[in-house]
Structure 1
């Protein structure tokens, strides 16, 4: 379905509630305003398959731009507002977006982007105006809240974070259905089938909406008729307060958020009633087993996990009960048939670690405008097996385990070492707030294991503490996995989605080493 179906039956029901401000967008507002914007875009010449970009903070109008694209057969490109100006210009230009929607809060960056694009892109600004931009409210007010004659379903064209090389745009063929198709989009089907979500669900989204999961999963809530509570930014205690205030039933988080929730003082954690929660799903990055066990003990057996990507070539899912029997697994693939292969493309037997390829019969992806990068994702002999560079294995019962990203695997003395395993060990130390592990060149071993650590407040970095962390790792890991060196930093570069910008950090160390 789509918001129009619920605007007809429950027009005053909140479709969106902003976490800090409390601002509410009803289904009537979401439907009417997205229709007006869809008509404006059509009047400006955009047709099925064209692109619209949005550069915004988590804003109450974000999803009306999303739904205007979804009901016009357009692609929506959500621009990471933390990209450098050059990267943001590249994303808008590379996507071929005809329109850029932004906000007064980001006016300085938005006007610089529009100026660099050279007048080829229409600018619409929420909450005011700026050089080169039309005032959004005035622009959509000139168009009636009536649906287009054909409301072809659109899609997103989202870009990688750009931490290694240029951002890559992931594009899928548009579905050959209209937006009111009763089956709804794939994410809505997953929410309904796996998580039991429906029009009574209240979904808490704590992450930036430019990221694939928060944008699409919140949008899918509107296909089910539920309410999406959107946090402007993540704060651990506010998260618990919002669960209590809005009787949240479902939420999706990243492991970093779980770590921060667990590190709240016990009296703070016990202050809030979170009994309304029926499912808390985590994804986007590996979750240290100790963290996951602790969250399951706190929340109960409602902590599920899925593995997927913007490319969408695979989707695996695992419940808390399954995970406790198979700790470390990300579940059985429900979409995409997994094939684990060596570097030459030979398929490996169950239990052996290799490059994960997936065969999805009903869909494929491309990197927009980059045929070479697209070719690199294909298996050397089987064209419809695709990989995004993850390494792992499948056990005898078909459960998938991920060990790391191919790009971050360390080869030391001919032995493969997976940083994610070492990071999961070190984050369990009570003084470690954040950690990144990667390989650095070593004249004898090829690469050596290096750790960069952010300590909890109250702990002073020192050579003695570095040795304490190495000794802790030695208690839990094989000797060759113990970091040879440990550095301390006040902050580690993380994307607001929670993903560690490890490529950026490693490049910094490599540059310093010449």
Structure 2
């Protein structure tokens, strides 16, 4: 597979691509050789639909038109490639709560030909340091509210520029609109646009490299063919832009359609319901957990503006789908995606929806269920979900590439059943990853945080099925001699863990044990903890 001539001066990401023979089969959607997704999403949409349309709405009531958005994005891009010294191919870390400014920074990084590394505001210093080391990040644009942990990460040589504060060198002050337009760097369609990090089952994050053409592909497949947005839609949702689910649903899809997006940090189900009513939101992206949490509170809010509801991040139970439909008359569009494939690849909408199933392959994608030998299993039998299409897994310099991609197919780590009529039904995760409220949580990473506490001798973390969150994190802990088990100790351990890793990874339950079950060779038998065999 021959790559186009790169526009990147800094070739780190291209050098870090896996060998072409390890790539999945990729469907060609016919994009031109030179393509900048930032220019396509913003400049091309503005030229097609006008500058006076609303683009981004903020929590403070501000409304940015497409013209105002472009002026701000161009000013940021000029600052990046001018005073900040960012050259095409440099990695730029983006951190902060969801806001119009964070999205504008992402678009500016795209137009400047740099590579966005968008992380969660919840990431702790150690996690940020690991991501920056793996991606060799030298620049960061950070909301002033989220700069503390990034500074504590102590990343060598990292230049942090804040926005939203009062400092004289704040990005908002330095990047004032009104200057010359910024001509987007003519990146190749297969130049890397972003590195999205996902945790593996060991807790060591994997960087997923996605091209400029990939960003448009998710809009031109799932969004255009399944979601089918309209220019008058107002998008919103709970996933942060550090998740590709949020990046697609709150930035890429609305801009590609000439629609608008309400960009505000997640404030819980009641605040989201209030925003739906006040902002007349029409397209909602969130996880099943949030839909379940909103159900008992619906009576107090006007949600009549909603037109499309999308669910992903965890399996959507049929009962939740039916309860939402009975309460609102809206059919939730269920879907499964992966950071490795950037966004949703199995889904269904409208009359094609079948509650209890994920759906069908999104147009442009293929899917099948395979056995351990990689061959398709008969319909009705469980196996591993294999997918291929215009996007796919390309890990940044990671030997786990060959485990995820086999024979040109992406193996997502999910167990599925394909029904006789072609619908795909989720069974379970095929590995030890815990999926709780849409968050992927690696058990060994939580164990490592617990074991750093002086009172913990051993720890094993597993997921337990939960009706509200899909799964919850349960930690089985062996305390050191003399440490009393009980709620006071559990509270102290939770508080300690939250200082080491993101709070959503913290165990919701702690079970104190005298010993952990092990094999004769000393390996922990996590299956016995999961299935309750020790109770």
TM-score by length of 1: 0.73
Of 168, 171, 196 in structure 2, the residue corresponding to residue 158 of structure 1 is 196
Equivalent positions of 1:295-444 (< 5 A) are: 295-312=324-341, 315-319=345-349, 321-323=351-353, 326-334=354-362, 335-360=364-389, 362-370=390-398, 372-379=399-406, 382=407, 384-408=408-432, 423=465, 427=467, 436=472
Which residue among 78, 97, 106 is the counterpart of 1:39? 78
- How has the CA–CA distance of structure 1 residues 408 and 255 changed in structure 2, closer, same or farther, with 3 Å as cutoff? same
More moved, 136-145 vs 27-36: 136-145
Is the 1:16–1:25 Cα contact (8 Å) retained in structure 2?
Answer: yes
What is the correspondence of 1:3-22 to structure 2 with a 5 Å cutoff? 3-5=42-44, 7=46, 10-19=50-59, 21-22=60-61
Structure 1 segments, 4+ long, off by >6 Å, are 437-441, 504-512
* Deviations, residues 212-270 of structure 1 (Å, cap 9, x unaligned): 11122222212222110123223222222222222222111101101110132xxxx22
- The answer to whether the 8 A contact 2:198-2:206 is kept is yes
Structure 1 CA distance, aligned partners of 2:228 and 2:171? 37
> Which of structures 1 and 2 has the larger relative contact order (alpha carbons within 8 angstroms, sep 6+)?
2
Q: Map 1:418-497; keep pairs closer than 5 Å.
A: 423=465, 427=467, 436=472
* Cα distance change, pair 386–18 in 1 and its aligned pair in 2 (3 A): same
Give 2:281's match in structure 1, choosing from 226, 232, 248: 248
Alignment of 1:118-267 (within 5 A): 118-119=156-157, 121-128=158-165, 134-141=169-176, 144-148=179-183, 150-152=185-187, 155-161=193-199, 164-175=202-213, 184-187=216-219, 189-220=221-252, 221-264=254-297
The range that moved more, 32-41 or 137-146, is 137-146
Cα distance, 1:61 vs. partner? Answer: 0.3
Contact 1:80 1:161 in 2 (8 A): no
Alignment correspondent of 2:314: 285
Distance 1:77 1:95 in 2: 8
Q: Is the 8 A contact 2:232 2:259 kept in 1?
A: yes
Aligned partners of 1:159, 1:42: CA distance in 2, in Å? 25
- TM-score, structure 2 normalization: 0.70
Q: Identify if the C-alpha distance between structure 1 residues 295 and 38 changes in structure 2 by more than 3 Å, giving closer, same or farther.
A: same
Q: Assess, with a 3 A threshold, how the Cα gap between structure 1 residues 162 and 344 changes in structure 2: closer, same or farther.
A: closer
Runs of at least 5 residues in structure 2 that lack an aligned partner in the other structure: 1-39, 435-461, 478-486, 488-492, 518-535
| CA-to-aligned-CA distance 1:90-111 (integer Å, 9 cap, x gap) | 1122122231011221232122
For 2:156 and 2:141, locate their aligned partners in 1 and report how far apart those are by CA, in whole Å. 16
Q: Distance in 2 between matches of 1:128 and 1:244?
A: 30
Contact 1:23 1:60 in 2 (8 A): no
Deviation at 1:336, TM superposition (A): 3.2
Structure 1 Cα separation of the partners of residues 165 and 156 of structure 2: 22
Shift of 1:286: 0.9
Q: Does the aligned pair in 1 maintain the 2:235–2:261 contact within 8 Å?
A: yes
The question of whether the paired residues in 2 share the 8 Å contact of 1:103 and 1:125 is answered with: yes
1:61 to 2:101 alignment: yes
- Counterpart residue number, 1:28: 67
Partner of 1:75: 115
Deviation at 1:511, TM superposition (A): 11
Query: CA 1:24 to 1:322, structure 2 compared with 1: closer, same or farther past 3 Å?
Result: same
Contact 2:315 2:470 in 1 (8 A): no
Output the CA distance in 2 between the equivalents of 1:349 and 1:72. Answer: 49
1:437 positional shift: 7.8
1:18 CA drift (Å): 2.2
Computed over aligned residues only, the root mean square deviation of the Cα atoms, in angstroms, reads 3.7
**Alpha-carbon separation, structure 2, partners of 1:11 and 1:143:** 15
Unaligned ranges ≥5, structure 1: 411-418, 442-460, 462-488
